[in-house]
Chains A and B, each alone.
Chain A
Amino acid sequence: MEVAVCLKRVPDTASKIRVGEDGKTIDTSDVQYIVSPYDEFAIEEAIAIKERQGDTQVTVVTLGDTAAQKELRLALAMGADSGILIKSDSALDANQVARNLAAALEAKSCDLILFGRQSADDGSGQVGPMVARILGMPCVTDVVSVELLDGAVRVEREVEGAREVIESSLPVTLTAQKGLNTPRYASLKGIMQAKKKKIEEVEAQPFDARFPVKSLSPPPARPEGKIVGEGVDAVAELVRLLREEAKVL
């Protein structure tokens, strides 16, 4: 079986984010990078499938600058077989990213392509479904379990108040939701083995930007809190304000 996982290098969710000088991208100085957390679920699922099924190749793909090698290498250390780095030094829009990913994956004829449900930075949640569309595959988003059947796949999604079970033929694209699995740590032996695994590099193609970012601004500063009084005496006033002003009661 051919499985691909698309992953993204994103600022560590613990980093403090500042808007860069261009007003469109973030200031990358002092930023630590990680594999986007939802993508880690996708990587884990692919490796777990490989372990269960045997005879499976897991390719991890990312679009980013050369530094993104590290995130691919982490996925290889977790157990993926090979990597593809689509090199681009500038920020691309979701259309450009999806077209590049689809171009890199087309020749592979994957049975399964996995994504995280959204990236931890832009969070647009579009790239997975767009790649599926370009490659003419069905796509199921936000899956919390994956079971391979003969030539098909049964997945579960959590929908408001219920669990939805969906069966799809292969090939299919899935996006991973939290709860799908617990990603493993890259073992130290895995890290050593990953040094020998191949990462193919290709240049990103100049597809059209369809919806480029025009500006980026930090959220407005939170207004100062209000102290309505102290102790039991303040309760009545607090309840009144919550009811009448904040309208939350």
Chain B
Amino acid sequence: MEPYESVDFFGIEELLSEDERLVQHSVREFVSDKVIPDIAEHFEKATFPRDLIPQLGELGVLGANLEGYGCAGLNNVAYGLIMQELERGDSGVRSFVSVQGALVMYPIYAFGTEEQKQKFLPKLATGEFIGCFGLTEPDHGSNPNGMITNAVKDGDSYILNGNKMWITNGCIADVAVVWAKVDGVIRGFVVEKGTPGFSTTLQEHKFSLRASVTSELHFEDCRIPAANLLPETGGLKSPLKCLTQARYGIAWGALGSAMASFDCARKYSVSRIQFGKPIASFQLVQAKLAEMFSEITKGQLMVHQLGRLKDQNKLRPQHVSMAKRNNCYQALEIARTARDMLGANGVTYEYCVGRHMLNMESVKTYEGTHDIHTLILGQEVTGIAAYE
């Protein structure tokens, strides 16, 4: 197979520092060597490549933008580049890393006690512990504020009841960051695997993110130590802060997926001969490639500045909404077009485009659907919330 070529039409690499480039280089090599060779088979068999976990830990991508506790302490542009490179491989692998870092390590880091940080973060950073994030419920997706899961204080414990659904890593997690209402206020808890009253079931039969574990979490009078409450959590803004971290990474990740689809479609169209010439010589095909190329470049410029804003502490969740919404939408469109350009070959696992297309359906939906982000932007420009 020909080596992967990313897009850098506007010379964005020149805007990167030396260490940001090295991070991108290292993760790109890792993805080429360790992720790409087996990922289609995992996708087809609906298995998660668990052997990658310790290797991802060793490379240092888990919680890479956190300081201390065994984390690499990278800036947010370097972190974004990691997500981009990982999702060039597969959205399932990027999802694993996003959940672990932005949705499990981040809340413990931001809302946890020193003991909680010492206990969980170093092991999550190496991949010895796997984490999951339970917010969505069967009846509450876009509207998590309506959640039913609740926790009642009982002496030195909390008693948890409720169900979570669509939880990435659920069945394989050692620690679950679970959101539940205490007297009507959303709080975060760390629930450890094996706690009586806590069980999981695997959600099967997905056609998307097949190389990723998705699960239901069940809490039935699940008694957890009061010390497992994340003390600084309070209200919907706490899980939303985590989601802003994860969505930030997704905005970058989606570009990786888009670049993989584009690279594949471009090479294929140059080598595929129909009517005696490469299909790339037909205007319709060129128009598709030109469109993809432009959208990827626009998306790159957007996330680059998004990252710089985040590093300067000027980032607002609405900025992230725009980038997540735009880049996921474009990546899905690009994957669909690329799939089309490969003809029948586009529906096989031999080429990555079909897999990316199917994956992007989930990525467009989770972490705030496309339409919910539309409404967030609508509120930004009008001052009127249309989703409540």
Contact = CB atoms under 8 A, between A and B. Distances in A.
Contact of A69 (B18, B61, B73): B18
B3 A191 contact: no
A187 B61 CA distance: 9
Interface string A14-26: 1000000000000
B64 A188 contact: yes
B19 A187 contact: no
B26 A188 contact: yes
Contacts of A77: 22, 26
Interface in B193-224: none
Contacts of A74: 22, 25
Contact of A187 (B3, B18, B60, B82): B60
B72 A188 contact: yes
B26 A185 contact: yes
A70 B26 contact: no
A195 interface: yes
A74 B29 CA distance: 13
Interface in A134-170: none
A187 B25 CA distance: 11
Interface residues of B, number: 22
Contacts of A187: 26, 58-60, 72
Contact of A185 (B59, B72, B74, B78): B59
B322 interface: no
B72 A192 contact: yes
B237 interface: no
Contact of B21 (A70, A185, A192): A70
B37 to A, nearest CB: 15
B159 interface: no
Q: Which of B5, B22, B61, B73 has the most CB of A within 10 A?
A: B22
A215 B288 CA distance: 42
Contacts of A192: 19, 72-74
B51 to A, nearest CB: 16
B30 interface: yes
Contacts of B58: 187
Given A69-B18, A185-B30, A191 B23 contact: yes
B61 A188 contact: yes
B36 to A, nearest CB: 14
A41 to B, nearest CB: 15
A194 B22 CA distance: 11
Contact of A188 (B3, B21, B59): B59
Interface in B47-69: 58-61, 64
Interface string A52-74: 00000000000000000110011
Contacts of B64: 188
Contacts of B29: 185
Contacts of A73: 18-19, 22
A208 B133 CA distance: 65
A222 interface: no
A145 to B, nearest CB: 22
Contacts of A194: 19, 22
Contact of A14 (B3, B72, B74): B3
Contacts of B19: 73, 191-192, 194-195
Q: Which of B5, B18, B58, B64 has the most CB of A within 10 A?
A: B18
Nearest to A183: B29
Nearest to B73: A192
A199 to B, nearest CB: 11
Nearest to B13: A32
A197 to B, nearest CB: 12
B172 to A, nearest CB: 23
B18 A70 contact: yes
A110 interface: no
A23 to B, nearest CB: 27
A187 B62 CA distance: 12
A130 to B, nearest CB: 30
A191 B22 CA distance: 7
A226 interface: no
Contacts of B74: 188, 192
Q: Lowest 4 A-B CB distances belong to which pairs?
A: A188-B60, A188-B72, A14-B3, A187-B60
Interface of A: 14, 69-70, 73-74, 77, 185-192, 194-195
Given A73-B19, A189-B72, A194-B19, 9 more contacts: A70-B22, A73-B18, A74-B22, A74-B25, A188-B78, A188-B82, A191-B26, A192-B72, A194-B22
28 contacts: A14-B2, A14-B3, A14-B5, A70-B21, A70-B22, A73-B18, A73-B19, A74-B22, A77-B22, A77-B26, A185-B30, A186-B22, A186-B25, A187-B26, A187-B58, A188-B23, A188-B26, A188-B59, A188-B60, A188-B61, A188-B82, A190-B60, A191-B19, A191-B26, A192-B73, A192-B74, A194-B22, A195-B19
